[in-house]
Amino acid sequence: MTDIRKKERSLEKMSPFEIKNELIRLAKADARKSTSQFLNAGRGNPNWIATTPREAFFLLGQWALEECERTYSATPGIAGMPASAGAMDRLMKFLTVNSTLPGARMLYDSIKYCTEILGIDPDSLAYEWADGIIGDQYPTPVRILEHTQDIVRAYLAQEMGNHASGLGREYDLFATEGGTAAMCYIFNSLQVNHLLNHGDKIALMAPIFTPYLEIPDLDRYQFDVVNISARKMDAEGLHEWQYPDEELDKLRDPAVKLLCLVNPSNPPSYKLSKECTDRIVDIVKKDNPDLMIVTDDVYGTFAKDFTSLMYRLPANTLCVYSFSKYFGATGWRLATIALAKDNIYDRLISALPEISRRDLSERYSTLSLRPDSISFIDRMVADSRDVALNHTAGLSTPQQIQMALFALMCLIDTTDSYKKVMQEMIHRRLDALWKATGFTLNPDPDRVGYYSEIDLMVWAKKFFGDDFAAWLADNHEPLDFVMRLARETSVVLLNGSGFAGPDWSVRASLANLPTEAYTTIGESIARIFNSYHDEFLARK
Task: Please check the confidence at residue 524 and state whether its pLDDT lies above 70.
Answer: yes
What pLDDT, on a 0 to 100 scale, did the predictor assign at position 415?
95
Give the per-residue pLDDT at 264.
Answer: 98
Q: What is the pLDDT of residue 112?
A: 98
| pLDDT tens figures, 369-385 | 999 999 999 999 999 99
Structure confidence by residue, pLDDT tens digits, 194-222:
999 999 999 999 999 999 999 999 999 99
- Is residue 527 predicted with pLDDT exceeding 80? yes
- Residue 268 belongs to some domain of the structure: yes
pLDDT band, very low/low/confident/very high, at 1 (cuts 50, 70, 90)? low
- Residues 370 and 508 occupy one common structural domain: no
pLDDT at residue 383, rounded to an integer: 97
In the listed set 403, 434, 456, which residue is the last one of a domain according to the structure?
403
Residue-range definition of the domain harbouring residue 341 = 146-403
Selection from 46, 40, 180, 48 nearest residue 508 by Cα: 40
In a shared domain, residues 350 and 492: no
Domain boundary among 78, 106, 134: 134
Indicate if 115 and 246 belong to the same structural domain: no
Q: What is the pLDDT of residue 35?
A: 67
| Average of per-residue pLDDT across 92-99 | 98
pLDDT band at residue 8 under the 50/70/90 scheme: low
Q: Is residue 161 part of a domain?
A: yes
Averaged pLDDT for residues 521-539: 96
159 & 302 share domain: yes
Q: How do residues 249-296 score in pLDDT, each as one tens digit?
A: 999 999 999 999 999 999 999 999 999 999 999 999 999 999 999 999
Looking at the fold, whether 183 and 310 belong to one and the same domain comes out as yes
Is the per-residue pLDDT at 17 higher than 90?
no
Q: Per the domain annotation, does 109 fall within a domain?
A: yes
CATH of residue 66: 1.10.20.110
Q: Give the mean pLDDT of 336-365.
A: 97
Cβ atoms 115, 87 nearer than 8 A: no
With respect to residue 42, please indicate whether it lies within any of the assigned structural domains. no
Residue 347 pLDDT exceeds 90: yes
Please return the burial class of 96, using the count of CB atoms within 10 Å of its CB with bins 0-12, 13-18 and 19+: exposed
Question: Same domain for 203 and 345?
Answer: yes
Average pLDDT, the chain: 95
Is residue 60 one of the residues assigned to a domain? Answer: yes
Is residue 513 within 8 A of residue 37, CB to CB? The reply is no
Query: Amino acid letter at 62?
Result: Q
Each residue of 290-318: b (16+ CB within 10 Å) or e?
bbbbbbbbbbbbbbeebbbbbbbbbbbbb
What pLDDT was estimated at residue 255? 98
Residues 174 and 377 sit within 8 Å (Cβ to Cβ): yes
Domain presence at residue 477: yes
Please count the other Cβ atoms lying within 10 Å of the Cβ belonging to residue 354. 7
Query: Which is it for strands 171-177 and 334-340: parallel, antiparallel or unpaired?
Result: antiparallel
pLDDT band at residue 357 under the 50/70/90 scheme: very high
At 18 the pLDDT is 80
Position 412 in a domain: no
Phi, psi angle pair for 119, to nearest 5°: 70, 30
How far is residue 61's CA from residue 71's CA, in Å, rounded to a whole number? 16
Shared domain check, 356 and 271: yes
The model scores a pTM over 0.85:
yes
So what's the pLDDT on residue 401? 98
User: Which amino acid, residue 230?
Assistant: A
Nearest to 64 by CA among 123, 128, 113, 121: 128
- Judge if 23 and 96 occupy the same domain: no
All residues at 6 or more sequence positions from 146 whose CB lies less than 8 Å from its CB, including other chains: 124, 128
For residue range 127-169, what is the model confidence (pLDDT) as tens digits? 999 999 999 999 999 999 999 999 999 999 999 999 998 888 8
Mean pLDDT along residues 52-69: 97
- Nearest Cα to Cα of residue 105 among 66, 60, 67: 60
Split into its structural domains, the chain has a count of: 3
Residue 454 covered by a domain: yes
Phi-psi map region of 159: left, alpha, beta (phi>0 left; psi -120 to 50 alpha): alpha
Both 191 and 322 in one domain: the answer is yes
Q: How confident is the model at residue 6 (pLDDT cuts 50, 70, 90)?
A: confident
Last residue of a domain, one of 134, 161, 177: 134
DSSP code for 216: G
**Which residues lie below 8 Å from residue 118, measured CB to CB, with a gap of 6+?**
147, 150, 151, 154, 167
Q: Are 426 and 526 part of one and the same domain?
A: yes
Regarding whether 29 and 61 lie in a shared domain, the answer is no
> What pLDDT, on the 0 to 100 scale, is given for residue 9?
73
Cβ(60)–Cβ(107) below 8 Å: yes
Cβ neighbours around 534 below 10 Å, total: 9
CATH code: domain of residue 455? 3.90.1150.10
Closest C-alpha to 46, from 405, 366, 341, 429: 429
- Its sign, for the CA torsion 330, 511, 299, 256, is negative
If asked whether residues 506 and 528 sit together in one domain, one would say yes
- pLDDT tens by residue, 397-412: 999 999 999 999 999 9
Mean pLDDT of all residues in 324-352:
98
Counts for the chain of helices (H) and strands (E), in that order: 21, 12
